[in-house]
Chain A
Amino acid sequence: MENKKLIQLFTQKAEAVGTIVREMGSASDAIQYTAGIANKKQMNTLACPGLSSKDRDLISDLCKSEKLTFLESPLREQASFLDISLTWANYGIAETGTLMLVSNSEEIRIATMLAQIHIAMLPISKINQDTEAIEHNLDKILKNDTPSFAAFITGASRTADIERVLAIGVHGPVELHIALLKEA
């Protein structure tokens, strides 16, 4: 029950800032979902850094049948035509509908920053109530003596710099989708 409430709150807060949230079973469902979105939006290219080799194979097969170009690493040179990306998220923060994403890998950063649409997979077990609840984990990552790049991501990229009118997708993704996975 507690868990259900948390998912509800997370979903409600994420949707309030325009994030599209879908509950599904597993990573393979999320892969299907991604291909579906790519198809619907007539996108041409897809990247999915950080996924297991099994999942990558699944995607690259799907890409072939869906006429999608699967972009292999390194993404930097292909960034200007990257349409859709699928990555994992590390945690969810219910209070604000936020994802926490550790993106030490440049590929993950580029995929989540430069794609038109970013789809993130989040196991429901990783949803926490608030930032305090993940403070310890983040702190541990940052206190490592190695470089790190982590982010709280809440909705799509936005601006209100012209006449304070909200516009979505100024530099980062135009859409953020979250695939809430029952099984991790």
Chain B
Amino acid sequence: MIKTPKDMKTYKKQLHEALEDSFLRSALDKFNTVYRENRPTVYEGIDFEGIRDLIAENKDRLIPFLETLFDEFKRNAQKAGTIVHRAKDAAQANEIIARIAADNQVKSIIKSKSMTAEETFLNDHLEEKGFEVTETDLGEWIIQLKHEGPSHMVMPAIHLSRYQVGELFEKQTHSRLDKENIDKLVKVARKELRPKFLEADMGISGANFAVADSGTLGLVTNEGNMRLVTTLPKIHVALVGFDKLVPNLKTTLTILKLLPRNATGQAITSYVTWIKGTNQCLNTPNKQKIMHIVFLDNGRLSLSKDPVFSQSLRCIRCGACANVCPIYSKVGGHKYGHVYIGAIGLILTLFYHGKENDRVIVKNCLNCQACKEICPVGIDLPHLIKKTYAQILKQDGKKPVKNWVLSKVMKNRKLFHFLIRQSHLAQKPFTKGAPLIRHLPSFLEKDHGFRSLPVIAKRPLRDQWEKLHQAISNPSLKVALFAGCAIDFIYPEQGKALLTLLQNAKIQTGFPMDQTCCGLPAMMAAEEDTAKKIALQNIRAFKDEKVDYIVTLCASCASHLIHNYQKIFKEAQEDPAGLKSFTRKIIDFSSFMDKVYPLDDHKPTAAKKVAYHAPCHLCRGLKVTEQPRALIQKAGFTYIPSKDEDVCCGFGGSYSVDFPEISREILKKKLDNIEASDAELLVTDCPGCVLQLRGGLDKRQSPIKVMHLVELLSKGQI
């Protein structure tokens, strides 16, 4: 039985235990890397983005009409003898299925893999009613023997080693087995389950597609058990979510181009099976099967009408959002979902299993965008995760103190900046004059001591601006700087470096003093109203700047200002003056240097070897990938590729404070890769990443220095 913690303390304890499970750690870490590395081969010759957008479009068009599609499906399926039911919730679906079993004097039931049946806890219900239920998918059978829920939507037993599986099988078969040999273990399942198939009275399956215009189910599988489950027993019952309805075969064939590739790295699975109606069954009096399909609503139909969350119904359960998630790869699916696992699990749990089961897990997201990039149906998963959290707070009707304070402070720029300045003073006892805080008070050191922390600058950039800034006669270009909190208050030297570069090229640069935090932290805390108020302040602050570009050194700010500002106002159905021109002018540093800045690129190569860390919000958020690497070379340095450059550093803003243990482990892997790369410098173009990487390397006493790209370029020969 699945028990998802409902309070943070229990959850953190479980996360800690998961991080200590060495098999889980190495298996999932390896999986995460291999999955990403194989992707180019898997997708060779396939236009992933084009097909993804097409599927998303198709799905969005049909989602509002699920009920109509259901009617059409039912009509067509009935013509071929299928009995079609609809269940408003899990309990009703389970009751319908148990009743079908009872009415037909069923004793034993075999099942093929179905996440929908996991969702309704169908096995528990059927067993309670006295039926013998056997899972026949290998992974599902393993977890059934272990009395656990799946830890991955496609590979349910990925958390178990061959030895653990071997032990389960030994118990089951009362014999000694060669636990080292996976092939032999698989054959044990084949041998043990064969008689079950032949004896069972009823087979239960799920479905990947319910094709409305013919009343056909489409099932995508590899093992062949589903084919037996749907063929051998005289009764077949399929439990299908309303979201599996598609209008026609064409739509399914399009989805089929991405589903197996994304799920298991196959161009197509071993079996794609199309089943319609009461097929032949030679051991019944009328030589036909009994065929039932139960369509499950359980919140889907109301989701389909939700302007924000309806896109979560696009999900085709490929499981990839877990595969690439840096958190999943550290803690595994039992700690990263309730029944549904991974990014989509953090969302759907609220709607299918209630807020109590989602309350703590929904906070465990870095907003690294890896899931969004991989999703074959283009669901904006990180955004919806935050929206889900906001929804839970709304349903609760009360906010955590942290949110209340954050909202009060951040809405008021002067108060916010005053408090940051104060923290400079508060830090003094710990800094001992150094630019980094290396030792925290002991009660914090244990969890948070994995990185040195930066010091709040004595004088923020805004206070130095007037002195630093020179008026430029006949400027070649006019830009304004959007500093963001990190540059303004922690790393003003990065802002200074930018100003030097700009002034060298006769670019006039403005700094509107009313600008404030971009608002991303508010959004991450699901403080939507605060995020919106902050957005308005910034739009207003830059409204009168007669500039061509608004440059920012922070990748997170850039992607938030460009994408989230539009989302925030679209969702609120508002269109404030200046929004469009503001977002249009925002440009990240690397793109600005690449596209706008007059570069001289005939420079000799300096000896220094530079590794690059790709910030999440730059490489995935803004799709800026090649430019920073090219700039390193153009500035005369040698760019040294390192492993997993585009994997998150584990910072995620306040994430690293809320979940320090996971942040530490993600950072560790990152830094191990950097140290293995032979680089002397590590460069990135986001001050948040600088903070995390520099703090981590400093703690390791590594000789590798961390810089913002702007610092490298201003030191280089550009």
Contact = CB atoms under 8 A, between A and B. Distances in A.
Interface centre among B76, B142, B269 (most CB of A within 10 A): B269
Interface in B212-245: 213-214, 216, 222-225, 227-228, 231-232
A158 B165 CA distance: 18
A162 B157 contact: yes
Given A151-B272, A152-B271, A172-B271, A162 B185 contact: yes
Interface in A78-116: 79-80, 95-96, 98, 104-107, 109-110, 113-114
A151 B277 contact: no
A176 B224 CA distance: 13
B249 A139 contact: yes
A76 B282 contact: yes
A40 interface: no
Nearest to A150: B274
Contacts of B250: 135
A110 B268 CA distance: 22
B278 interface: yes
B399 interface: no
Interface string A154-173: 11111111111101011111
B686 to A, nearest CB: 33
B264 A146 contact: no
Contacts of A143: 76, 213-214
A161 B137 contact: yes
A159 B138 contact: yes
A90 to B, nearest CB: 12
B279 A145 contact: no
Contacts of B161: 163
A106 B281 contact: yes
Interface residues of B, number: 69
B420 interface: no
B228 A171 contact: yes
A82 to B, nearest CB: 11
A167 B273 contact: no
A132 interface: yes
B279 A149 contact: yes
Contacts of A95: 267
A114 B269 contact: no
B271 A153 contact: yes
A154 B194 contact: no
Contact of B224 (A13, A162, A165, A172): A172
A147 B80 contact: yes
B238 to A, nearest CB: 13
Given A147-B80, A151-B272, A170 B277 contact: no
B190 A169 contact: yes
B228 A114 contact: yes
Contacts of A113: 224, 227-228, 231
B224 A171 contact: yes
B81 A167 contact: no
Given A113-B224, A165-B182, A148 B193 contact: no
A150 B278 contact: no
A69 interface: no
B150 to A, nearest CB: 11
B155 interface: yes
B139 to A, nearest CB: 4
Contacts of A150: 273-274
Contacts of B162: 162-163, 165
Interface in B256-294: 256, 264, 266-283, 288, 291
A61 to B, nearest CB: 26
A95 B261 CA distance: 14
B228 A138 contact: no
Contacts of A149: 231, 273-276, 279
B268 A76 contact: no
Contact of B136 (A135, A147, A171): A171
B32 to A, nearest CB: 12
Interface in B173-193: 182-183, 185-187, 189-190, 193
Nearest to A153: B271
A161 B224 contact: no
A172 to B, nearest CB: 3
A135 B190 contact: no
B409 interface: no
B270 A156 contact: yes
A170 B157 contact: no
Given A164-B31, A167-B182, A154 B275 contact: no
Interface centre among B224, B232, B267, B280 (most CB of A within 10 A): B224
B280 A147 contact: yes
A152 B138 CA distance: 21
A142 interface: yes
A83 to B, nearest CB: 14
Given A148-B274, A172-B270, A161 B225 contact: no
B63 interface: no
B19 interface: no
Given A164-B155, A171-B193, A157 B222 contact: yes
Contacts of A158: 222-223, 270
Contacts of B160: 162
Contacts of A74: 282-283
A109 B231 contact: yes
B155 A106 contact: no
A131 B137 CA distance: 27
Interface centre among B27, B155, B266, B268 (most CB of A within 10 A): B268
A151 B222 CA distance: 12
B224 A76 contact: no
B253 interface: yes
Given A106-B281, A163-B182, A148 B276 contact: yes
A172 B160 CA distance: 24
A171 B237 CA distance: 20
B56 interface: no
Given A96-B267, A163-B27, A151 B223 contact: no
Contacts of B165: 162
Interface centre among A74, A114, A165, A173 (most CB of B within 10 A): A114
B87 to A, nearest CB: 23
B58 to A, nearest CB: 15
Nearest to B281: A106
Contacts of A98: 268
Nearest to B211: A142
A151 B273 contact: yes
Contact of A161 (B76, B142, B232, B268): B142
B468 interface: no
Contacts of B454: none
Contacts of A169: 186-187, 190
A170 B282 contact: no
A158 B213 CA distance: 31
A148 B279 contact: yes
A95 B189 CA distance: 32
A76 B283 contact: yes
A131 B256 contact: yes
A110 B31 CA distance: 35
A107 B279 CA distance: 12
12 contacts: A104-B279, A106-B279, A113-B224, A142-B249, A147-B279, A148-B277, A149-B276, A153-B271, A156-B270, A162-B185, A163-B27, A173-B224
Interface of B: 27, 31, 76, 79-81, 136-139, 142, 155-158, 160-162, 165, 182-183, 185-187, 189-190, 193-195, 197-198, 211, 213-214, 216, 222-225, 227-228, 231-232, 248-250, 253, 256, 264, 266-283, 288, 291
Given A76-B282, A163-B27, A172-B227, 19 more contacts: A74-B282, A76-B283, A106-B280, A135-B253, A142-B216, A142-B276, A143-B213, A145-B76, A147-B80, A151-B274, A153-B271, A154-B268, A157-B222, A162-B138, A162-B157, A162-B165, A162-B186, A171-B190, A172-B224
Interface of A: 13, 17, 74, 76, 79-80, 95-96, 98, 104-107, 109-110, 113-114, 131-132, 135, 138-139, 142-143, 145-165, 167, 169-173
